Amino acid sequence: MFGLFRKNKNKEEQTETARSASTNQTKSKVAITGKLLKMERSDAAALINNLENADFVKSVTYETNYLVATKFDTAKAKKAAKMGIAVISETELFSYIEEGAFPHSEKPEKPKRQWNGDDLAWVKLDSNRFVLLDYVDADGVLTEQRIVQLTQEAVGSTGLEYFGGMVGFSFRTFRKDRIVSISDV
């Protein structure tokens, strides 16, 4: 009987150690792809946000630590794996929630860019076009169905052609040879 209480005490100590360790590190960013089997995504997001060391995020970026996937062949799961993000199952998610903390997982290293765009002489387009753009970045990661307001174009010193435009409130550049598809919205 005493052994049973000791096992429970050890489990409580391990959970408390995980919690205290989690306060000494930054919060893990956790995204979800696909339909969860046990609960709605919004409920799982609330459980994640209730943990001291985790925040739910909607998208996969270089700031994401974990992606929860019920299917590992989705575009988001493939993108996360290619970026080096820890892709975990729904079972692992609920195990971490039950333990009260996510184990520390390094964020993927953001690729270093040599190019800074200073050599581009931008020319404004006659009309601002809103387009739906599928684009492959320098690392081969595909971003699908991004809405862009094209405002400018340029040719670099290397002869590469670029579009420039607004994605939300940010100006972005897109090499024309990396555009997979483009269509007017």
CATH code where residue 28 lies: 3.40.50.10190
84 DSSP assignment: T
What does the pLDDT read at residue 1? 45
Q: What is the pLDDT of residue 138?
A: 78
* pTM of the full structure: 0.54
- Residue 134 structural domain: 123-184
pLDDT along the chain (185 residues), means of 10: 46 50 70 94 96 94 94 90 93 95 88 68 87 86 86 88 91 92 91
Residue keyed to tokens 């492959």: 136
Length of the chain: 185
Give pLDDT, residue 120.
85
Using CA of residue 113, residue 118, residue 123, residue 127, what is the dihedral sign? positive
CB under 8 Å to 65, separation ≥6 — which residues?
28, 29, 30, 85, 86, 102, 105, 106, 107
What is residue 51's DSSP assignment?
S
Q: For residues 10 and 55, state if they share a domain.
A: yes
Handedness of CA 67, 69, 72, 77 (dihedral sign): negative
Shared domain check, 94 and 7: yes
Residues 9 and 94 in one domain: yes
Sign of CA dihedral 34, 37, 39, 44: negative
How many domains does the structure of the chain reveal?
Answer: 2
95 and 129 share a domain?
no
Instruction: Mark whether 65 and 129 lie in a shared domain.
Output: no
State residue 118's pLDDT score.
65
Task: Please indicate, yes or no, whether residues 95 and 133 belong to a single structural domain of this protein.
Answer: no
- Pairing verdict, β 54-56 and 86-88: unpaired
Which pLDDT does position 47 carry in this prediction? Answer: 96
Q: Which of 99, 131, 152 is the last residue of a domain?
A: 99
Assess if residue 150 is contained within a domain. Answer: yes
For 51, other C-beta atoms within 10 Å of its C-beta total 20
Same structural domain, 76 and 129 = no
DSSP 139: T
Asked if the structure places residue 118 within a domain, the reply is no
Residues 90 and 141 in one domain: no
SS3 14: helix
In this prediction, residue 13 carries a pLDDT of 52
